Amino acid sequence: YRRCLPKSLQDVEDEFKEALNSAMLENALNDVGSGAAVINSLSAAKELGQKIVQDLDDSWPFVVGGLGLAMVLCFLYIVLMRWFAGLMVWLSLFGVIALLIYCCYASYVKYDELKTAEADSINTDFIKDEVNEILAMKDTWLVFLIISAVLLAIVILLVIFLRNRIRIAIALIKEASKAVASITSTLVFPLFPWLLQILLIGWFVVVLLYLAGSSLPVYIAKIGKENCVCNNIKDGDRCDANNFAVCTDLCGDNSTCQISYYEKPKYTDYLHAYNIFGIFWGLFFISGLGDMILAGTFATWYWTFKKKDVPFFTLTRSIGRTFRYNLGTVAFGSLILAICRMIRVILEYISHKLKKYDNAFVKAILCCLKCFFWCLEKFIKFINKNAYIMCAVHGKNFCRSAKDAFNLLMRNVIRVFVLDKVTDFLLFLGKLLITAAMCALSFFAFTKEIDYYSDEIPTLNYTIIPVLFIGFGTYFIASIFFWSLFHGRRYTFPVFLGGL
């Protein structure tokens, strides 16, 4: 027909194809670049992990040795607290203050050095990773300086304004350390409640798995003859395989009753709730049992006028008294806590189910209820611990002991709050001082600043890795050792208030 398109339209078509190909190429290049970036990130993460594992493999004997040294330091600290409690606490306070002053000084010196240095004069050859890059920034050291200065100011103000309370707290810590040193079995007793709780959690997990895997087969009938009904069972209805022989005779041999699928029984949800309530009650009961036993132990020590007359099997006698007279008290107190915790779980379940409904009023009500029961649980837990102490001392029932404990605490509410927090703060400073000392010692050791052991220390990719392991391990070990002091103070404090 000798027809053709104008050249301008052909040019538009060619330009459109070229633009389309260019866009596709650009998208493909972007995808390739993104994929390459992900691969590079994964490769860098893999390389980092390999270096960390290599550092741990090279330095693990020194890490284990550092943790052993931390254990010895914690034990010596606890022993020395018996005779030098005041000196040790004040040394811990001033040690932390000196450490913060040094942090401020070192941070300022490093900040001033990086601030005055020229950009091209900073040696980047030693910058091997992002951590070193961050440490090479002056703003990082400015942040360290500000944090150290704020913490230093807080500690100094606390020491100045709470010095009288600190003296009373030192007396409480001294009495607790004497009790722990006199009854050394209290150092290892916490392992038994922890072991029981681990066993209980294991039982809970086993029951949970059994319930999650429990299901019943559902049998569906397949009728061979059309419109054949047997025992009110039609094609596709549920059936009982044991009683289906009659239907086979009536509707043909090709009529079957076979398993179609599995479903969970309706009572499984109730068993899950029962299992959850059981784990709450069991954990609270074991914790309360340990509190009652230790409270009776420390009360026996406190009320023995001549400490040399403290029975050798004080802890064993307290265990016997608790199992003979006070199990009901512990069970009742833990039951109240378990009910309160179960109500919180139910509220969380309701809140999760109502997320799809955007109702602000209902959300506000649920939020208020959750906050209320959280506060109620904390209050009941606090009263329970002191009720167990009063019960161990006076041998009264739970309600009477809780009432006496509440009245005693309300008469000394300011003293209880301030001394409790000050004592916790002083014990925390002790743990912090031991942890900081071990971190500093390990850092100088792994950076080969200690000439005596410099030849035996391996060269590491990241010296901070074993230092962090030693730091976290030391804090964990210190927490275990200071646990006895913490609870000894907690158990002797209400007895001390009752004797005022």
pLDDT digits (tens, 9 = 90+) for 30-54: 655 566 666 766 676 677 677 777 7
- Evaluate whether 279 touches 208 at the Cβ level (below 8 Å): no
DSSP category for residue 260: E
Q: How many helices (H) and strands (E) does the chain have?
A: 13, 2
Pick the range with the lowest mean pLDDT from 81-95, 106-120, 174-188, 352-366: 106-120
Contacts of 476 (CB under 8 A, 6+ apart): none
- Evaluate whether 463 touches 129 at the Cβ level (below 8 Å): no
> Domain coordinates of the chain in residue numbers?
7-187+412-498, 216-263, 267-411
- Token pair for 14: 């060619």
Q: What is the pLDDT of residue 306?
A: 76
The phi-psi region of residue 219 (left if phi > 0; otherwise alpha if psi is between -120 and 50; otherwise beta) is: beta
- Token pair for 260: 């179609």
- pTM: predicted TM-score of the whole model, two decimal places: 0.71
Going by C-alpha positions, the residue among 364, 470, 493, 476 that lies closest to residue 420 is: 493
- CB atoms under 10 Å from CB of 330, counted, come to 26
Task: For residue range 109-148, list pLDDT tens digits in order.
Answer: 878 877 776 444 444 444 445 555 666 677 777 888 888 8
Mean of pLDDT values over 209-222? 80
Integer-rounded Cα radius of gyration of the chain: 35
Task: For residue range 368-423, list pLDDT tens digits in order.
Answer: 999 999 999 999 998 898 888 888 888 888 889 889 888 888 887 777 777 777 77
List the Cα angle 487/493/495 in 5-degree steps. 115
The one-letter code for the residue type at 319 is I
- Mapping DSSP to helix (H, G, I), strand (E, B) and coil, where does residue 191 land? helix
Cα distances from 240 to residues 113, 217, 227, 243, 244, in angstroms, run 86, 11, 19, 6, 6
Contacts of 467 (CB under 8 A, 6+ apart): 439, 442, 443, 446
Q: How far apart are CA 450 and CA 345, in angstroms?
A: 54
Residue 283 pLDDT exceeds 90: yes
Q: How far apart are CA 331 and CA 76, in angstroms?
A: 38
Q: What is the pLDDT of residue 38?
A: 64
Residue 206 pLDDT exceeds 90: yes
Rounded to the nearest 10 degrees, what angle do helices 464-498 and 268-303 cross at? 70
The one-letter code for the residue type at 246 is V
Going by C-alpha positions, the residue among 392, 373, 423 that lies closest to residue 327 is: 392
List the Cα angle 100/91/465 in 5-degree steps. 50
Q: What is the pLDDT of residue 450?
A: 64
Helix (H) / strand (E) element for 158: namely helix 138-161
